[in-house]
Amino acid sequence: MIKRTLLLIIVATVAAFAANAQYRLLYESFAVGSNGDTSRTLVTVAGDQLCIASADPEEANPIPGIAKHFTYIDYAHDTAFYQLYYTNKEQYFTGISLHTGNDYQFEKVETVNGYRCKKYTTSLFSNRMEIWMTEDFKYRATPTTTFADLPGVLVQYTRNGNATTRLVSEKIESSHRNMKGLSPIIPANLGQYTDRRAIGNLEKEKLVITIPVFKESQICFNPKLEKARTIPYDTVLPYSNGTIILKRMNLKQLPPHYQIFAELTEQSNGDAYDRTGSVFVIPASQKVSFLNALIDSVGVLPVFTDKNGAQYQGIKLEKDYTPLVELVRFFTPFGVHHFNQYRSLPDKEWEDAAYYKQDVSDLRQYLQGDVYIGAFIGNYDAGGHKITLDLKAYPESYEWTGNADEGYWTLPLFNTCNVMEMSGQNYGTLFGTDSLTVTFTVPEGLTSLRLRYLSTGHGGWDNGDEFVPKENVILIDGQPRFRHTPWRSDCGTFRVYNPASGNFWNGLSSSDYSRSGWCPGTATQPVYFDLTGLVPGQHTLTVAIPQGQREGTYFSAWNVSGILIGRK
């Protein structure tokens, strides 16, 4: 159990209330037979009112968004209030009835922890609860609202015989036994009222660090757009005739316990088709970067030439060049939002947007400091698409500790997704005659080395690789090491995102058909190949795919990207 943050004595808030309180009760909660953490709860009593708060010590360096929690009980009005109190003085609360509706069974009277108690049992969400209450005191008290409708003071309760909360001390703060006339312990202003269900979501949302990147930003085809040659911070700029948008940001370094997700929504703004999309980061520390290609031309990138003489710009790691770091490969559905009104099906209700959420924690080192984040959707439509992209970081500890670089090593190896398609960057058709080989160096001291691999096949006719499974072979130092066939057979699940998808005579829709690693309206999930044990030094990695042959003007292509990820 992770301890909640609050001082043993709640100086700023509770102390003012406790000045008139006559009793303070301290409870401990722990797992039976365990040597793990014990949490403590302080209950302050004044007349018919209680304040329940954590008595655990505060974290030395807490994460942003932590709230102090207070529960107030007003026995006179059978009401409880749950309050969140933030360091910026924001306060939220909700009301709870003390009539829980629990079906208690009285069992017997017995002595527990030195108190004469009545034992009750009940069942809550399939958990057997044993509760011991004493009426030896002249007041009522409980460390939880769950049993607040029982008379007396709660001495102990146990869940399923293996988790216990018990009273460990009672302190009298005043010699006056008569509780009447004391100031109320419940503050007059509890803050902003929030629905009981919503307050839990509110608390979680404030713990999440949300970094807005794009907000309903348009990605379209517009040759009249001028490309900016300087890139200021926090400005969305179009490139490659509007099919790429780019934003430069200065991102705060996060501790390694945060999980980072890319959260993306997409709506058609006029384009009816399923399109390849990519969210990426440009590594800009090398002599030549993809940034140079956006500002100048794709011709500045290093070139790989296949056996047929076709050239592929900037697709793999070179001495002075690092390829794009692909965060999310996604595919737009057929016309979601814009075309919802043009077609209806009796058993379908169209979604208003496509939604993608992907864990990108293992690429965190590219999401800190001076960062260029881009998004691409290949289309030739003047309206195109609109996207919203947020980076969301979820904590796994209440303490802000550690450095995001601790223990991480990554190396982008290749990326054949031609995000500058509208500026002349070639499709990944090299696999028809060649394989893709890249040379890299493994440093000393790495463990848990893996290849993060994304692969999708394209060629949208009957014999195209979009609809034909093809085995991808990964060779290390010339030896086949891994085999993977990208394939999605669940595309029909996403029919409600595809209002403009063509419907066929047999009852199927174009969006229903299985595809090589993708579906219209989905993100492609990376696969991970274990390279643990690869010795330090120079190696080669080769990707080989039996790409299908051209048929007239039709051709197949493969978008593959790979990044090495290890621990120092």
149 and 245 assigned to the same domain: no
Q: What is the mean pLDDT of residues 92-110?
A: 93
Query: Which H/E stretch holds residue 16?
Result: helix 14-18
Using an 8 Å Cβ cutoff, are 65 and 52 in contact?
no
- Strand ranges (E), 360-478: 369-377, 385-394, 408-415, 436-442, 447-458, 472-476
Tokens of 322: 């690092």
Task: Let me know if residue 3 belongs to a domain.
Answer: no
- Checking if the pLDDT of 500 tops 60, the result is yes
Task: Let me know if residue 1 belongs to a domain.
Answer: no
Per the DSSP assignment, residues forming a β-bridge with 412 are 563
pLDDT at 105: 96
Task: Let me know if residue 4 belongs to a domain.
Answer: no
Tokens of 521: 């309206």
**What's the sign of the alpha-carbon dihedral 292, 422, 546, 566?**
positive
220 and 142 assigned to the same domain: no
Q: Phi and psi (nearest 5°) for 201?
A: -65, -40
Per the DSSP assignment, residues forming a β-bridge with 260 are 393
Tokens of 504: 């066929």
C-alpha atoms less than 13 angstroms from C-alpha of 267 in its C-beta half-sphere: 15
DSSP state of 145: G
pLDDT at 347: 83
90 and 48 assigned to the same domain: yes
- Checking if the pLDDT of 18 tops 60, the result is no
Residue type, 5: T
pLDDT at 345: 85
User: 114: Cβ–Cβ under 8 A, 6 or more apart, which residues?
Assistant: none
pLDDT at 67: 95
C-alpha atoms less than 13 angstroms from C-alpha of 58 in its C-beta half-sphere: 16
pLDDT at 405: 61
Distance separating alpha carbons of residues 453 and 441, to the nearest angstrom = 18
pLDDT at 238: 98
- Domain membership of residue 237 as a residue range: 208-567
Which strands sit side by side in the sheet containing 91-97, from one edge to the other?
105-112, 115-124, 127-134, 153-159, 163-172, 23-31, 39-46, 49-54, 67-74, 79-86, 91-97, 192-193
Residue type, 28: E
Q: What ranges in 289-391 are assigned the alpha helix state H?
A: 290-295
- Checking if the pLDDT of 58 tops 50, the result is yes
Distance separating alpha carbons of residues 547 and 558, to the nearest angstrom = 8
- 174 pLDDT band (50/70/90 cuts)? low
Using an 8 Å Cβ cutoff, are 51 and 6 in contact?
no
Distance separating alpha carbons of residues 327 and 262, to the nearest angstrom = 8
- Classify 293 as helix, strand or coil: helix
- Checking if the pLDDT of 17 tops 70, the result is no
Which of 169, 204, 239 corresponds to the end of one domain?
204
- 180 pLDDT band (50/70/90 cuts)? very low
Distance separating alpha carbons of residues 349 and 504, to the nearest angstrom = 19
Which of 161, 179, 204 corresponds to the end of one domain?
204
pLDDT at 175: 45
196 and 227 assigned to the same domain: no
Please give the residue that has the higher pLDDT: either 183 or 490: 490
Distance separating alpha carbons of residues 133 and 113, to the nearest angstrom = 11
Do the bridges between strand 311-313 and strand 303-305 make them parallel or antiparallel, or are there none, so unpaired? antiparallel
Task: Let me know if residue 270 belongs to a domain.
Answer: yes
142 and 246 assigned to the same domain: no
Which of 182, 204, 226 corresponds to the end of one domain?
204
200 and 259 assigned to the same domain: no
Give percent of the chain above pLDDT 90.
85
Q: What is the mean pLDDT of residues 221-237?
A: 96
Distance separating alpha carbons of residues 195 and 420, to the nearest angstrom = 48
pLDDT at 55: 95
Highest mean pLDDT among 94-103, 203-212, 498-507: 203-212
Q: What is the mean pLDDT of residues 82-110?
A: 94
Task: Let me know if residue 243 belongs to a domain.
Answer: yes
Task: Let me know if residue 76 belongs to a domain.
Answer: yes
**What's the sign of the alpha-carbon dihedral 371, 217, 425, 417?**
positive
158 and 259 assigned to the same domain: no
Cα first-last separation, the chain? 29
Tokens of 376: 């691409």
Q: Which residue has the tokens 């960057």?
A: 425
181 and 212 assigned to the same domain: no
Mean pLDDT for the chain overall: 92
Using an 8 Å Cβ cutoff, are 372 and 282 in contact?
yes
Task: Let me know if residue 7 belongs to a domain.
Answer: no
- Classify 393 as helix, strand or coil: strand
Distance separating alpha carbons of residues 220 and 161, to the nearest angstrom = 62
Tokens of 513: 């058909």
- 172 pLDDT band (50/70/90 cuts)? confident
DSSP state of 551: B
- The three-point CA angle 27-4-19 to 5° equals 55
106 and 214 assigned to the same domain: no
Q: What is the mean pLDDT of residues 497-510?
A: 92
How far is Cα of residue 32 from the mean position of the Cα atoms in its chain?
34
* Number of compact structural domains in the chain: 2
- 37 pLDDT band (50/70/90 cuts)? confident
Distance separating alpha carbons of residues 152 and 169, to the nearest angstrom = 16
How far is Cα of residue 482 from the mean position of the Cα atoms in its chain?
29
102 and 36 assigned to the same domain: yes
173 and 220 assigned to the same domain: no
CATH of the domain at 460: 2.60.120.1570
CATH of the domain at 134: 2.50.20
Task: Let me know if residue 9 belongs to a domain.
Answer: no
437 and 544 assigned to the same domain: yes
